[in-house]
Amino acid sequence: MKTFEIEITETLQTVHNIDANNYSEAYDIVCNKYNKEEIVLTSDEYVDTEITPYLYSNSYSIIMNNPVFKSFILKKAEDMLLDLSTEELIKLSFGDIESAISNYKSNNQ
């Protein structure tokens, strides 16, 4: 019998409205509150569960380091990018809207 590593990820999510002078300040305020446990997410904020093979398992290391496999994955990712919403592309490429706007402005001036 073989042993398999299976990963379970639960996602909790909440949105806070923060009064601040700019995005960076608002982000710092939320991070500070979260680190001080003034913001604590509970099961009421549950949004998703993923159960998947554990990608960092040693049993996948050979295929994950194979350049032909990586090219195959990149081609599939390129095809999928066309179907993503603007919001999904922003999260994937920049992490957040403020970073996307900042990069956009600096590249288009």
pTM, to two decimals: 0.62
- pLDDT value for 30: 96
**Looking at the predicted structure, is the pLDDT value of residue 28 above 90?**
yes
Q: Is the separation of the CB atoms in 12 and 46 below 8 Å?
A: yes
**Contacts of residue 24, Cβ cutoff 8 Å, sequence gap at least 6:** 98
pLDDT digits (tens, 9 = 90+) for 66-97: 999 999 999 999 999 999 999 999 999 999 99
